[in-house]
């Protein structure tokens, strides 16, 4: 008695391309699901500091752009984000 065939590639390529071979979906930010807890904790504080620095930079730009005094009245009413530290605690 002859041995039977164990495997063949026949028709496999056609089946694979029937609905198209799709690339896996990529997202803007990868999940931090299995990442080291120490890294995640530090990452959270880093994001908090980045948000604070960006907010301060926007405030500085507003002061630099205001050459003709348009925002003069607003300067009295508004304070830089460093005064509102409670806003940054919401990022935790």
- How far apart CA 27 and CA 17 sit, in angstroms, is 24
Closest CA to 75 of 85, 57, 92, 62: 62
Give the predicted TM-score (pTM) of the model. Answer: 0.40
What distances in angstroms separate CA 59 from CA 16, 31, 32, 70, one per listed residue? 55, 32, 32, 15
Q: What is the pLDDT of residues 16-43, one digit of tens each?
A: 999 999 999 999 988 999 999 999 999 9
pLDDT at position 49 = 87
Q: What is the pLDDT of residues 41-64, one digit of tens each?
A: 999 999 998 888 888 877 777 666
Report the pLDDT averaged over residues 67-87.
Answer: 58
Which residues, in sequence order, are CB contacts of 44 under 8 Å at separation 6+? Answer: 91, 92
- How far apart CA 59 and CA 53 sit, in angstroms, is 10
Four-point Cα dihedral 29, 32, 34, 39, nearest 10: 130
């Amino acid at each position: 008695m002859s041995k039977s065939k164990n495997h063949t590639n026949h028709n496999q390529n056609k089946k694979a391309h029937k609905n198209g071979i799709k690339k896996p979906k990529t997202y803007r930010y990868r999940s931090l699901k299995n990442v080291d807890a120490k890294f995640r904790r530090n990452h959270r504080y880093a994001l908090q500091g980045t948000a604070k620095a960006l907010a301060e930079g926007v405030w500085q730009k507003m002061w630099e752009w205001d050459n003709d005094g348009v925002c003069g009245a607003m300067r009295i009413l508004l304070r830089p984000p460093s005064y509102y530290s409670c806003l940054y605690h919401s990022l935790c």
